[in-house]
A and B are shown apart, each in its own frame.
Chain A
Amino acid sequence: MKLRIFVTLKNGVLDPQGKAIHKALEGLGFAGINDVRAGKLIELDVADDTSDAGVDEMCRKLLANTVIENYRVERA
């Protein structure tokens, strides 16, 4: 079973990388960009009987730092 874990910074947490990307896009002449936030995509290939709770635990224990990040799991 393939999973896609999206890890994103929580609202209100400053994202310096997003800001740098934003500036670089504007430097290339792209207009009308309101905001840029950078995150991570982690792809997992796991046993078919892996439970939702098990995946959730992987996210909380390692894949995301819940002090600063949110995560969302998508089943492919």
Chain B
Amino acid sequence: MKTAVIVFPGSNCDRDIAVALEAVTGVKPAMVWHGETALPDGVGLVALPGGFSYGDYLRAGAVAARSPIMRAVVDAAERGLPVLGICNGFQVLTEAGLLPGALMRNEGLDFVCRDVALTVANAQSAFTSRYGQGETVTLPVAHHDGNYFADAETLDRIEGEGRVAFRYVGEVNGSARKIAGVLNAAGNVLGMMPHPERRIEMAHGGFDGRRMFEGLLETVGA
């Protein structure tokens, strides 16, 4: 499966996600600079990496969401192409309007950098098919703005539609209803604060992240 990683000025997990994607798919991802206006032909997945795009100026992800490549990403997502946004990538997806809600400053104001336990709240998506429904997995988080906010009506709707992919087991950042990852209505866009690409080999402490990429390869990689 061909994949693409979008690189913004200030992205810093772009190499990590590229290593994870290559490890699982066997194909080096195309690294696509934010100033490009088109995605490479034939990609089966677009990843928006973690980091501090544009120095988090204005709001985390706000400027990146308006960069030229994002028009192509939004168009492709609306046509059904799987798009995965991790950490800053999740912030970019909400700012671009592909996912509901917003990521605010962590409730405790601290930058949180540690392994967290997550519950898989929807194991039916293309991203989560290798997990069990309700299973607890462990992935690292590293963020300052991961406090998921949406109004009560939106939260009820996304919960009702099974669009919460992951929840924190414990208190991490003040996120509404402990939401750690959200799917779009069609299920082809996932944004999440934890880093699956940082848990793909034994040296990382386990394989809980690798299973996401293996699942994607199986469901969309034909």
Q: Are B66 and A16 neighbours in the complex by a CB distance under 8 Å?
A: no
- Within 6-26 of A, Cβ neighbours of B (below 8 Å) are at 13-14, 16-17, 20
- Within 100-124 of B, Cβ neighbours of A (below 8 Å) are at 100-102, 104-109
Q: Which residues of B contact A68 (CB under 8 A)?
A: 102, 104, 149
Residue A63 interfacial (CB < 8 Å): yes
- Within 56-88 of B, Cβ neighbours of A (below 8 Å) are at 58-59, 62-63, 66
Roughly how many angstroms separate A18 CA and B108 CA in the complex, as a whole number?
Answer: 12
Roughly how many angstroms separate A63 CA and B94 CA in the complex, as a whole number?
Answer: 15
Q: Are B109 and A13 neighbours in the complex by a CB distance under 8 Å?
A: no
Residue A53 interfacial (CB < 8 Å): no
Residue B147 interfacial (CB < 8 Å): yes
Residue A62 interfacial (CB < 8 Å): yes
Roughly how many angstroms separate A67 CA and B95 CA in the complex, as a whole number?
Answer: 9
Q: Which residues of B contact A13 (CB under 8 A)?
A: 104, 149
Contact of B105 among A16, A63, A65 (CB under 8 A): A16
Q: Which residues of A contact B109 (CB under 8 A)?
A: 16-17, 20
Roughly how many angstroms separate A13 CA and B102 CA in the complex, as a whole number?
Answer: 11
Chain B nearest CB, measured from A65 CB (Å): 6
Roughly how many angstroms separate A13 CA and B152 CA in the complex, as a whole number?
Answer: 11
- Within 17-62 of B, Cβ neighbours of A (below 8 Å) are at 58-59, 62
Q: Are B66 and A61 neighbours in the complex by a CB distance under 8 Å?
A: yes
Roughly how many angstroms separate A61 CA and B66 CA in the complex, as a whole number?
Answer: 9
Roughly how many angstroms separate A65 CA and B102 CA in the complex, as a whole number?
Answer: 8
Chain B nearest CB, measured from A53 CB (Å): 19
- Within 26-54 of A, Cβ neighbours of B (below 8 Å) are at none
Identity of the chain B residue whose Cβ is nearest the Cβ of A63 in the assembled complex:
B58
Roughly how many angstroms separate A68 CA and B58 CA in the complex, as a whole number?
Answer: 13
- Residues of B at the A interface (CB closer than 8 Å) are 58-59, 62-63, 66, 94-95, 100-102, 104-109, 147, 149-150, 174
